[in-house]
Structure 1
Amino acid sequence: MINFKIMGNDIQHLYVELGPSDRIYAEGGHLIWKSSSVNIKATTGSGFMAGLKRAITGASFFVLELEGPGAIDIAGFAPGKIVEIDLGGNGVMVEHRAFLAMEPTVNYDVKLVGLGFGWLGGEGLLMARLQGNGRVFLHAIGDALMLELRPGESIDVEAGHVLAFDEGMRVSIRRVGGLRTMLFGEEGLWLAHIEGPGKAWLRTLSRQQMIMGLMPELARVARSA
């Protein structure tokens, strides 16, 4: 049986112990180290169309297939938290660049979510759809939040903070404020409106915030070069 262990505090990584013939799939470029006994190969997972679907969302055409026995360690591209979701036969919609790893019993697909949802949030119109009986692991920049919404409950989320949500939840785009908000508001003009029932996972730091936070330091380095 595969043993997963999320390790670390502010900068987390995923340690995985694989038995003989156990395998997982991971997004390329996230591997830190592996036991020499672990076999690794690049694969589309379920054929050319599966690779093409991943590429359409902006993820890699190939994923890494890692087969035991042995141990591996993988992490995201930026400081943050790792989120484990046990699908139990259900599906989740995932911001494509948040995908880290999954068990082989999980199917990776793509789905169009609410016209304008990703485009206005800067994340692309298509989201990854992960479905099956298995566990998936996502990487959230900053901290990760999980909100469980009852029927009739809803939240409005700045689109860049959406990590994932249960398939079947209603998602739409809502305009924030009027002309003053559009011209001067730092939060932008659009929010993702997510309606329950179901679970929604959010990240406390968007990519835009991370880039904006680094720009003064990058400018200072460029001036001193």
Structure 2
Amino acid sequence: MEVEILYRPAYSLAVIRLAGHEEVRVEAGSMVSMSQDVAIQTQATGGLLKSLARSTLGGESFFQNTFRAPAEGGEITVAPALPGDLAVLEVQGGPLLVQSGSFVAAEGGLQIDTTWGGARAFFGAQGLIMLRVSGEGKLVVSAYGAIHAKDLAAGEVYTVDTGHLVAFGADMGFKVRPVGRMKSLFLSGEGLVVDLTGPGKALLQTRSVDAFLSWLLPKLPARRD
């Protein structure tokens, strides 16, 4: 599978080129276009219970689409719902933790898990949970805004608002805690941050959906009955 990112950073589009009979799993609603004879299979990937967990806990759609290329290969283009950038991550040598809303597409050899032990640490952050992506292959993730990469040295601690978190290495230390007043209108009085501990790399998004909503909603006209 080869991936090319076009039109970055504001309105990025991922062009995924598949060899014969290769498969890619795509978040429901992210497909933009595809070449002729690419087959689509919509299923509750990983079994019913795991898919329910993914839908309820991870913020992902209940169903994901698997696209399979014909013998001569094929192409599919994908894009996220929000404006911003896309990144292609090579998963190898260790799993990644990916913010549920940032998942766009995964090569067939990758496994996506919402039931790993640390998942509960992210409950309460406006539906935020980290998907554990393991195996080997390419992973396409999205960001609201641009993607900012931060490399941490061994033992270095870096604090990130959970609304700006995209992905980080699963072997990095992390601790979720409340801080200050809420950015999100949907949190009970406090915002949440995560303290990341290196070594490793974290990907952040330069805009927050919660912060945007807190700016937008007060400006909307009042509902009339």
TM-score, structure 2 as length reference: 0.84
Cα distance, 1:191 vs. partner?
Answer: 2.2
Distance (Å, rounded) in 2 between the aligned partners of 1:165 and 1:104: 21
Distance 1:117 1:53 in 2: 14
Q: 2:119 and 2:54 mapped to 1: Cα distance? A: 19
CA distance 1:58–1:11, change in 2 (3 Å)? same
Q: Does the Cα contact within 8 Å between 1:108 and 1:131 map onto a contact in 2?
A: yes
Q: Does the CA-based 8 Å contact 2:58-2:127 persist in structure 1? A: no
Determine the structure 2 residue equivalent to 1:130.
Answer: 133
1:206 aligns with one of 199, 208, 213: 208
After superposition, give the CA deviation of every residue in 1:162-182 in whole Å (9 maximum; x if it has no partner). 111110211113454xxxx54
Alpha carbon RMSD of aligned pairs, Å? 2.6
Q: How many positions carry a matched residue from both structures?
A: 214
Unaligned ranges ≥5, structure 2 = none
Displacement of 1:97? 1.3
Partner of 2:3: 4
1:44 aligns with 2:48: no
Distance across 2 between alignment mates of 1:32 and 1:146: 27
Could you tell me how far 1:28 is from its partner in structure 2? 0.5
Aligned match for 2:197, one of 195, 198, 202: 195
1:183/1:22 Cα in 2 relative to 1: closer, same or farther (>3 Å)? closer
- Counterparts of 1:205-224 in structure 2 under 5 Å? 205-215=207-217, 218-219=220-221
Q: CA deviation at 1:94?
A: 1.2
1:69-148 equivalent positions in 2, closer than 5 A: 69-110=73-114, 111-113=116-118, 116-119=121-124, 121-124=125-128, 126-148=129-151
SS at match of 1:80: coil
Shift, 1:149, TM fit: 0.8
In structure 1, stretches of 5+ residues that fail to align are: none
Give the whole-Å Cα distance in 2 for the aligned partners of 1:183 and 1:53: 27
Q: 1:64 maps to what in 2?
A: 65
The structure whose residues are more often helix, as a share, is: 1
Cα deviation code 1:18-47 (max 9, x no counterpart): 222111000000111111221111023333
Residue 7 of structure 1 aligns with an amino acid whose one-letter code is L
- Superimposed CA distance per residue, residues 86-114 of structure 1 (whole angstroms, 9 cap, x where no aligned partner): 11141111111110000010001013437
User: 2: distance between equivalents of 1:70 and 1:31?
Assistant: 14
Deviations 1:132-169 (A, max 9, x none): 11111111101111111111111111121111111021
Residue in structure 2 matched with residue 166 of structure 1 by the alignment: 169
CA shift for structure 1 position 213: 3.8
Secondary structure, in 3 states, of the residue corresponding to 1:219? coil
The normalised TM-score by structure 1 is: 0.84
2:122–2:130 CA contact under 8 A, matched in 1: no
